[in-house]
Amino acid sequence: MQRRTFLLQCASLAGASAVPILARAQGAYPSQPIKVVVGFAAGGGADAIARLISSALAQELKTSIIIENKPGANANIATDSVVRSAKDGYTLLYNTSAITISPYLYKSLSYDLKRDLAPIALTAEIPLILVTSSSNRARTLDDFIKQLKANPEKLNYASSSPGNLTHLAAVEFLRVSQTTAFHVPYKSEAPAVTDLIGGRVQFYIGNANTLLPQIKAGKLTALAVTSGQRLPQLPDVPTLAETLQAGLEMAAWSGFMAPAGTPAPVCKTLETSLQRVITSPALSKQIFDSGATARFADAAAYQRLIEQELARWARVAKEAGIQPE
């Protein structure tokens, strides 16, 4: 398939008929409520951050923003609904890094990420934490790797869904640490964490905003974080880059996308507005308190991140033997 850039998709408008559309969008946008579609259930970590950012964005744009949750199929249901919506800036996708994994999980997606969606901005990053039960004798990553090497294929690790980020991050950790373990997939994060606390699985790499409360409660032991720097909430827990391999970083992230063909001035208005709200101290603190990190990147930088992650997870999925279904 011929490679296309996302930015061109946002900016491309067909011939003279596009001129009135541009003029209206540039002068009036937004003139009605905006719908933000979230591919995860209400009350979850992604939904919570989407609501924080959307609330601040609504104030910045002086309009109403409606959150619509469409969970399922690794957020593909939500993505498809946005792709099929009007290209006018009034239906946006709040996407996560799951969007860069879906091409390797599903044989026939109803959309093409490069063709059908245009990135607007990166807005947040959620570090991952490698955890084990507090009942495990391991207190450091080195201790735990020794356990894995002493018990090849005998210890278990959890994922919140087969093929998602929690699965692929664990596969990457096992590859780099030259260890093996048995994969136990769950249907969601809650039962995976429950079984981890109970010792039925031995490790899990999951989102910081979900795991931090359990770590603070003494139910889980944090062995490493996957971000480039240590987390302020866990200053004594090293990064994988410090202890295992320089440059090894993995994180969940999120941002906003629009249907390809959305007028460029509309995309730019959204990008600029998101930059203002994401870099504000008040929202940054709210996002931090939720276990994530406010991180702004413009459309061009967001495009590069998406392309890098597509390449990374293609390699990891291949090494893990994951076949699209």
Domains and CATH numbers, the chain: 6-126+252-320 (3.40.190.150), 127-243 (3.40.190.10)
pLDDT at residue 10, rounded to an integer: 59
pLDDT at residue 278, rounded to an integer: 98
Q: Per the structure block, which two tokens stand in for 111? A: 């959309």
Query: Alpha helices of 183-228 — where are they, by DSSP H?
Result: 189-197, 208-216
pLDDT at residue 21, rounded to an integer: 32
CA-based nearest residue to 222, from 291, 153, 123, 151: 291
* Long-range contact pairs involving 108-115 (C-beta distance under 8 Å, separation at least 24): 109/76, 110/76, 110/80, 110/83, 111/76, 111/79, 111/80, 111/83, 112/1, 113/306, 113/310, 114/1, 114/3, 114/4, 114/5, 114/6, 114/9, 115/4, 115/9, 115/260
Q: Indicate the DSSP class of residue 99.
A: G
pLDDT at residue 59, rounded to an integer: 98
- Average pLDDT per block of 10 residues along the chain, 325 residues long: 44 36 56 96 88 98 97 91 98 96 89 96 96 97 98 95 90 95 92 96 94 96 94 95 92 96 98 98 94 95 96 88 82
pLDDT at residue 73, rounded to an integer: 86
CA-based nearest residue to 189, from 46, 8, 17, 83: 46
- H or E element: which one contains 183? strand 182-185
